[in-house]
Amino acid sequence: MRTSTSPARAPRRLLRAGAALSLAALGLAVAAAPASAARHDSCATARAVFRAQMNEARFWLNAADTLAAGGNTASAAAATAEAEYYMGLANESLGEMEGC
Per-residue pLDDT tens over the stretch 5-42 = 555 555 555 555 555 545 555 554 545 555 556 677 88
Q: CA gyration radius for the chain?
A: 27
Q: How many Å from the N-terminal Cα to the C-terminal Cα in the chain? A: 77
Higher pLDDT, 53 or 26: 53
Per-residue pLDDT tens over the stretch 62-94 = 999 999 999 999 999 999 999 999 999 999 999
Return the domain boundaries, the chain: 42-96
